[in-house]
Structures are given as structure tokens and as C-alpha cells.
Chain A
Amino acid sequence: MSVYHPKLTAGLWLAGMLAICILGGQALTKDWLETSFLALLPSNEQQPEIAKATRQHNQLSNRKVVWLAGAATSDEAIGHAQKLKQQLEQSLLFNKVVLEIPQQQYIRQYRQLFPYRYQLLDAQTQAILATHPEQLIRQNLEMLNSPIGQMQAADLERDPSLIFSRYFNAQNPVKLNLEQGIVVLSDRQRFYALLLTELQDERLQLDKLEILSNLVDGATEQVKADGGELLVSGMPLFTAHGAKAAKQEISTVGIGSSLGIIVLLWATFRSVRPLLLSSLAIGSGLLAAWVICVLFFGKIHILTLVFGASLIGVADDYAQHFLCDSFGEKDWNPRKGLKFILPGLTLGLISNLLSYAGLGFSPFPGLQEVALFSAMGLLVAWLTVVLLFPLLLTGFKFDHQPGILKLTSYWEQHWPLWVSKHRRGLSLLLTVFIAGGLWMLTPQDDVRLLQSPPAELLRTADKIRSLFPMSPDNRFFLVSGQDQADWHQNEQRLLQRLDMLKQQKSLTAYEGLSGYWPDVNRQQQNYRLLKQKLYDSGLLEHYMTDLGFEQTAVKAELKQFASAESNTLALPEWLATADEAKQQLWLGCDSGRCQSTVALTGISDAGALTELQDLPGVVWVDQVEAVSSLFARYRIRASGLLLAAFCLASLGLGFKFGWRNSVTIMSVPVVSLAVSLAMLGWFGQLFSLFNLFALLLVLGIGVDYGLFFFMAGDRRASTSLGVTLSALTTLLAFGLLAISSTEIVHAFGFTVTAGIVAALLCAPLIGLKTISSE
């Protein structure tokens, strides 16, 4: 910027902002806010099929909300649930509200599968038939004579051997008690009527999530007022809570930091112009960041906005530096000011952009958004300062000595002296502090720390899980085969092992398609097994006669069996009869591969399950574990990134100012980083990938402060004011992040706060000796 044309540059700026406003107008018409927690996570980086399976596996649970209306008697519970059902239907949030289990579906499924009854055998029946067919007859007699055998007795006419009744019951391994067609669960103190709902969209918009939250709160109060108890759980509730908390935090952080900055600036400049100019710089930065992010990513996550709100503090640095420079010289004008601060501002911007570029290389969509958002925000704030301020600051002059300037001048002069006087004791103290903190620092990469739902929500979820153990775990198996037969064989092998683990109580239930649908080979085997053990052996005839069937009925049954020999039921036909949860297990066949998932419930020994992935075609998918280990890997990678950014900045500074000076400037970020890490250790804070990104920010800001002081020359007083003001504004922003209830946001805020305070303390020590050399 050797040529100074304030009007031209301001015109450029205006044109650019106009373009952004027009684009922004378009962006606003779209649904641009993302609230789903899952959108923050990287789509599985290993294999696309695992990503696909994961998506399909989560599809149902992402929309499902489970409601349990409890009361002292089951009738009261059902009453509460019926009232609730009406309320939920009126809300128009759900595309499905299920209270009475639809009997029609069972009846239809029974009719559709019945013709294939000699081909469809459940695993238990297969085993009994193969080894002790007479045991099957015994069990039939037991069921028929039981005082609860009404259903079997009713089936007996169509299905004398009851094999289809057995198969049909095995389809629903978890037995639920029905009253008036409604599932009623009990924990011995209360009865709970179950209501299942499904939201219309998998990814709910914020306003809908708010409606959901309010609906849950309102309904809970309502049921309580009626003397009952309402338990509600489901993924959308967790999302809703996260969105609500984030929204509150955005306004707290945004309003808090804006207010703080206004007060600070007013106290310093006692003029509206700097205030407006700062707001303009921040505002255009945020607007541009928002528009570009929405255009680039399509949607922007609410957490990005939380971080973005804190950007106010950083974007303000440039404006402060320019404005404060005006205190540095008697006959100051914008032209001279810009000439003096431009190198420092530019280097500062570059070092910050480098730090954010680091974020952009992580595979986490959330962090990429934060990176782009921050980089764009800063770039545009910088452009505003450089292009627009010269024009708007024309004729600007302070005629007062702000109190804070006296304070920062005093500070800038006396603090370095005090430090140098006590340098031995201080360096020892600092060394011990840093060493101790680092010693206690332990990384935590568990992805669950990302979300910190309130304990009550978790307790309710646990309670519901214990009452209604039907929600599958988010861990599952992915089974593949070259063709349907190969897949079937692989899955069968897995299910056999799972059955053993189930008996050892490693898990409570599992669900795989091959357990319900025998493939064509197996269907023929089943038929042959029945033929050999029951029909040809005369066992069935004997049993039917003994039981009191007419001879004509016996003959009819034998004839039906004989004529069903060539029946086969293809998988698509079977799937068409199955419920949504089972249909979801099938991933389909393509390019020489068939795949399915096996859902698991009530896992208590995950170790035993992971061992099963040695089976052919079986992959254990643990999304939480996968993302957590991804976090760990990227934490290490981000450490490398931090080191690279550090080296790059050192190199650049070394090239420009010489190695010795580079080391001097870089000592500010180094000490800041070390102190920040040590603080995390001392306070037992969460240390994960996200802190490292905060450290990248500390690095950038540390370099800024070091540079500003290094280049201050005889303008140390105004530099001190600029740095202090920008540090205070940044602290206001990030200090407020530290109060966040979301662990990672809190950790981010804490790390940056510690780092900035350290940088603020270190920076004035730089540049004292360089005055003579300049």
C-alpha cells in the first residue's frame, strides 16, 4: 500500500460490501442454520460403506422420541398417554404418533408369510427339530395346556404343528405387555404407557426444536398436574437442548462482549466516531463471514456462530491498533498512521490467517466452518480498517489524554523494569508453574464430552432404557458378502456367536435379517428338515391324532405340506412385510457386494463383541470410539500443525527482522502457549483437539502482540494502549466463552483466556532494547 488513495480504497470497500449484502440477501432466504450435533462430526473418513451404514443406522433414532406416561395403575397411565397423544398430534411436529400398536400390520404380515411357513423356521426350532423333534411336540402340549395358551389354541387350526406360530413370535424377541392395544411397562412401582413418535425431518430447524422443547416441558407439567409422571427421551431432545444452550450462549457472549467493548472504547476515546468505526469493522467482518460461510457450506452450524460471536474481540484488534495509534503523535493523520501500522497489521493478519488455515485442514466440518468463518471475518475486518478507515478518520484528532492511556503507559514503563529486577525469582516461579501444569495435563478425547446434556436428561434416558430395552445401541456390526448367499452365511456365523454372547449376558438382544429370513438354500433345508423329522417320520400325524384332530384335518395338513415344497420367499418380498426397524438393517447389493447391519441392544461387554470382527465379512462399527480415536489422532496432528505454524511464523519473522529478533518476538507466543497449557493442567480442564485450536489462536494473538511491541519504536505508549484494549476486548469475548455449559466451548474460552493474559503480560517486555537499534 505505497499509494495512498483513501477515496478509491473506500469505494472498493463499499463495492465489496454491497456485493456481500446482495449475496447475503440470497443466503437469508435459505434454511441456513444447522443445529444437528451429528453435522459437526466428520463423515466417516475410512470407508464410504461404513459411513452409509452409519447414516442408515442412525436414521430412525435421529427422529425418534419416546414418551412414557406413568401412573400408579395401568389404566391411569393409559389415560395420561391418550391425552398426551392428542396433544402431540395437534403439534404437527410428528409424522407418526403411535400409541395403540397397529394390529393390522401383524395380521397382514401373518397372512403374507403364512404360505411360506414350511420354509421359514426360527433358529431355535431348527435346532430342536434337528436333535430332538419330540421335544417340539412336548413344548406344543405345554403351550396348549397352559392357562395362557389362547393364542396358540386359536392358531392350531391353521398351523397344527405351531411352527409358524413359533417363527412369528421369534420375530419380536422382546416381549411387551399390551393392554387395550397399548404397550404397558412396569417397574413394580408404577405402570407406564408407551408412546412412540417420529419427527417429520431428520434435521430439525431451530424453531421446530424449540417447539419440541416447549412441548416436552408443557406435557411434563400437564401429566404431573394430573397426578402422573412423564418420561421423554430421544436424540432430538438432546439436539434441542444443545441448540437452546448454544442460542443462549450466543446472545450472552455476543451482548456481553459488545457491551464491554462499547464501554471500553467510550472510556478511551470519548467520541462516537471510534465506536462506530469499530462496530463497522466488526459488523462487516461478521456479515461477510456469515455470508461466505453460508454460500460455501450451504448451512452454518450454531456452534460456529458461538465461536464466531467471540471473533468480535479479535476483529477489533485492527481497529484498536489504528485508533490508538492516533495517540502516538502530536500531528497525527490517517495517512501517517496507516503507513506506520500497516506492516504490523498485515503481519498480524497473516499470522492469524495461518492459524485458521490450520483449523481448515481438520476433517471436522464444524472446525472447517469455524476456520472459514474466522478467517473471512478477520480478513474483512482488516480490509475495512485498511481501506475504509483512512477516509473516515480524515481530520480525526483527539484532544484529550484518556485515563487508560496514562495507566497503560505507566504499565508499559514500570512492568518491564519490575520484571527485570525480579527476573531470577520470576523465571524460577514460571518454570515450576509451567512444568507442574504440563505434568498434570492429561488428554481426553472422548467425543461424548462434545455434548454435555444435563444430568436429568441422561437419567431419564437411562430410566427409559431400563423400562423399554428396545432402542438399539449406536454400535453395530456391518456384515458383507460377495453375493446374497455369501452374506447370509457370514451373518449367520455372526448371529450364532452373538447368541452365545447373549447367553453370557454380554448383551441383551441382537437383530440381524438372516435370523428372520433364511436364504433360498436354507429355506430348502428347512423344508427337508420338517419333512424328515416331522412329516415323513409320522411324528406329526401321531401328535395330531393324539391331540384329537379329525383324520381329514391330518390328511389336509399332509397334503398342504407336500404341495408347498417348491415355495421360496425372496428377500425383497420378506422385507416388504417387515417393520421399519428391520427394513433398515438391509443395505442392499451393489457391485458384487451385499451388506447388512446387525443391531445390538443392551451391550454390557463391548470387548467380547469387538473380538467378533475376526469373522469373515464382519466389521465392528463404533461411531463414538471411531470419532474419539479420530479426535486423538487429530489432536496429535494439530500439535504438529501448531508447531508448523510456529516455525512458519518464526521463519517469516527471522527473514524480515533477523533470527535474534525473531526469537525475541516469538518468546511471547511461546510463553503464552506454555502458560495456557499449564493452566489447563493445574485446573484439571478438558484437554482435547479443541484446546489445540484455541492454542493456534493464542499463537496468532501472541505473535500480534509481540510484533506490535517490537515495531512500536518510540510509540510504545500508544502501542501499549492498543494491545491492552484489544487484549481486554478479546478477553471479554473469550472470557465469556469460558462460562459456556458446553464443555468444548468452555475449554476453548479457558485456553484462550489464559493464553491472552500471558501474552498481555509478556508483550511489554519486548522491544525495549530495540529502540536504540531502530
Chain B
Amino acid sequence: MILIKALLLYLLACGLGVADEAVLTEIAARLAKTPIAQGDFHQHKQLKILHKPLVSKGTFTYDQSKGVIWKTLTPVVSLLLVNESKLLTGQGEQAVPAAFGKVFKAMLGGDLAALTDGFNITGTDRKTSWQLELSPKDEMLKKIISTMLLSGDTELRWLEIREAAGNVTRITFDGITHPAQLTEEQEADFERLSP
């Protein structure tokens, strides 16, 4: 995914990351480079107090300049739209929740400076797949998130968020494509984000 690629390049350029430079270069080289990515996601959220996971499925669209469309199809249909300055959900415009909001935006919206400034990053690159581990530096963020794991090949395939409270969210991405342009529906969704 382009944003991961860009992130890695950014890490290299700034020399801020602690990951082995060679590994990051390799990973960056493997990632597909397009401004638009879309696909299906499968989210598996395990909350400590519930004896079964919250499972949701849907589609996502990433546009380098416009932001992210996160469309949940099951168990309830809902739409989440986010860019650098705005977050829209079924309940209307929301504040991006403290600290975590920034991470989410950074993951899906490409706010790379936030990730590199806020996390210690280590990585491994194997023949079939690569993996990155991000742990927050910020004290406030640490109270919410302990680590985040990212894994993929030419795309980001898998993302795991381990919360400090013990809840774990696993998101897998499938059927990723890189269309040259957005569909009318996607354009209309992004239109709602513009001020």
C-alpha cells in the first residue's frame, strides 16, 4: 500500500526510525505505488469483557489526497469518513478521539509525521512477507495502545492493534485493487468530507 511505502521512505529520509535501514528499504521497494487503493476488510475485535469477538466486514477506499472511506456492511451498515481534519460517522461529525485518532488517521490517511514521531518502529523482512511493530513513545498514547503490528507483502495485508486494557483488534485486508480513478459513489462520499 502506498502509504506504507511512503512511510518507509519518510523514515529513511529523516533517519528517525530505529528499524534497520536495509530492511525498510526492502519493504518499501516491495509495496505497490498508486494513489488509490480499495478492498475488503475483515475486523475481529476481542474485548476482554465479552466472551466472543465483535466481528465486522466491509470495504475500504484509500485516496492519497482525499482520505479514507471505511464502510462496514455487517453486522450493521455504517459509514466512516476521515481525512486530516474531519471525521464523519453515522452520528455526524466527531472529534477524533484523543491520541488514537491521530494514529488512525496516520494509518489510513497518510499522516506520516505523526507515526514516525510518535512510535518506536522495528521490522523484519522475509521472502513471503514483511512485518513492522510500532510501539508508542507518547505517555498518553501508551495508556490506550500498547503495540500495533503491521504485516504485508506488496500490500498491507494485516493490522493488529493491542490496547493497553487488553482488547485486541485484528483487521485483515483482501481483494486489494488499485483503480485509476474513484467510482461516482466514492467521489460522492469524499465530497461529504470537504468543508
State the A residues within 8 Å of B (CB). 73-75, 138-139, 141-148, 150-151, 153-154, 156-157, 175-181, 186-188, 547-550, 553
Contact = CB atoms under 8 A, between A and B. Distances in A.
Contacts of A142: 72, 76, 78, 89-91
A177 B96 contact: yes
A150 B163 contact: yes
A141 B54 CA distance: 9
A139 B90 CA distance: 8
A145 B95 contact: no
B19 to A, nearest CB: 20
B114 interface: yes
A157 B54 CA distance: 15
Contacts of A553: 49
Interface in B128-186: 138, 140, 144, 163, 165, 167, 169, 171
A73 B97 contact: no
Nearest to B70: A147
Nearest to A181: B140
Contacts of B171: 147
Contact of A139 (B91, B95, B96, B100): B91
A73 B113 contact: yes
Nearest to B171: A147
B101 A177 contact: yes
A447 B99 CA distance: 45
A338 B51 CA distance: 107
A146 B56 CA distance: 9
B65 to A, nearest CB: 11
Interface stretch (B27-35, B80-88, B119-127): B80-88
B43 interface: yes
Contacts of B51: 548-550
A148 B80 contact: yes
A75 B102 contact: no
A469 to B, nearest CB: 12
Contacts of B43: 145, 147
Given A74-B102, A151-B97, A179-B99, 16 more contacts: A142-B72, A142-B90, A147-B70, A147-B171, A148-B80, A148-B104, A150-B97, A150-B100, A150-B167, A153-B45, A153-B47, A156-B50, A175-B93, A178-B98, A547-B54, A550-B51
Contacts of B165: 154
Nearest to A183: B95
16 contacts: A73-B113, A145-B43, A145-B56, A145-B72, A147-B169, A147-B171, A148-B104, A151-B97, A151-B98, A156-B47, A175-B95, A177-B96, A178-B98, A180-B140, A186-B85, A548-B54
A156 B49 contact: yes
A502 to B, nearest CB: 12
Contact of A179 (B72, B93, B102): B102
Contact of A153 (B70, B78, B104, B167): B167
Given A141-B75, A145-B43, A145-B76, A180 B90 contact: no
A547 B96 CA distance: 25
A188 B85 contact: yes
Contact of B76 (A73, A141, A147, A547): A141
Contacts, number: 105
A157 B78 CA distance: 23
Nearest to B113: A73
A376 B41 CA distance: 84
Contacts of A550: 51
B84 A180 contact: no
B94 A175 contact: yes
B47 A145 contact: no
A145 B54 contact: yes
B117 interface: yes
Nearest to A101: B98
Contacts of B101: 148, 177-178
Contacts of B50: 156, 547-549
Interface centre among B97, B113, B163, B171 (most CB of A within 10 A): B97
Contacts of A75: 113-114, 117
B78 A180 contact: no
Contacts of A547: 50, 54
Nearest to B165: A154
A13 to B, nearest CB: 72
Contacts of A177: 85, 95-96, 101
Interface string B17-57: 00000000000000000000000000101011111111010
Contacts of A151: 97-98
Contacts of B89: 142-143, 146, 148
A518 to B, nearest CB: 21
Nearest to A179: B102
Nearest to A175: B95
A-B complex: 4 closest residue pairs judged by Cβ atoms: A175-B95, A548-B50, A548-B52, A145-B56
Contacts of A153: 45, 47, 167
A145 B78 CA distance: 9
A146 B98 contact: no
A633 B78 CA distance: 58
Contacts of A154: 163, 165, 167
B49 A147 contact: no
A180 B95 contact: no
A262 B11 CA distance: 74
Given A73-B113, A181-B98, A188 B84 contact: yes
Contacts of B100: 148, 150
Nearest to A544: B50
B49 A150 contact: no
A154 B48 CA distance: 9
Contacts of B95: 175-178
Contacts of A148: 80, 87, 89, 94, 96-97, 100-101, 104
A178 B91 contact: no
A163 to B, nearest CB: 14
Nearest to B95: A175
Contacts of A180: 99, 138, 140
Contact of A146 (B72, B114, B117): B72
Contacts of A175: 93-95
Contacts of A145: 43, 45, 54, 56, 72, 75-76, 78
A154 B90 CA distance: 20
B49 to A, nearest CB: 5
A557 to B, nearest CB: 12
Contacts of B70: 146-147
Nearest to B78: A142
A687 B49 CA distance: 72
Contacts of B94: 148, 175
B104 A147 contact: yes
Interface centre among A75, A154, A181, A186 (most CB of B within 10 A): A154
A145 B54 CA distance: 7
Contacts of A138: 76
B51 to A, nearest CB: 5
Nearest to A138: B76
A74 B114 contact: yes
B80 A146 contact: yes
A143 B91 CA distance: 9
A176 B117 CA distance: 22
A176 B87 CA distance: 11
A181 to B, nearest CB: 6
B166 to A, nearest CB: 10
Given A74-B114, A175-B93, A176-B95, A147 B47 contact: no
A144 B54 contact: yes
Nearest to A158: B49
Contacts of A178: 95, 98-99, 101
Interface in B63-82: 70, 72, 75-76, 78, 80
Contacts of A74: 102, 114
Interface centre among A147, A175, A549 (most CB of B within 10 A): A147
A380 B173 CA distance: 90
A177 B97 CA distance: 7
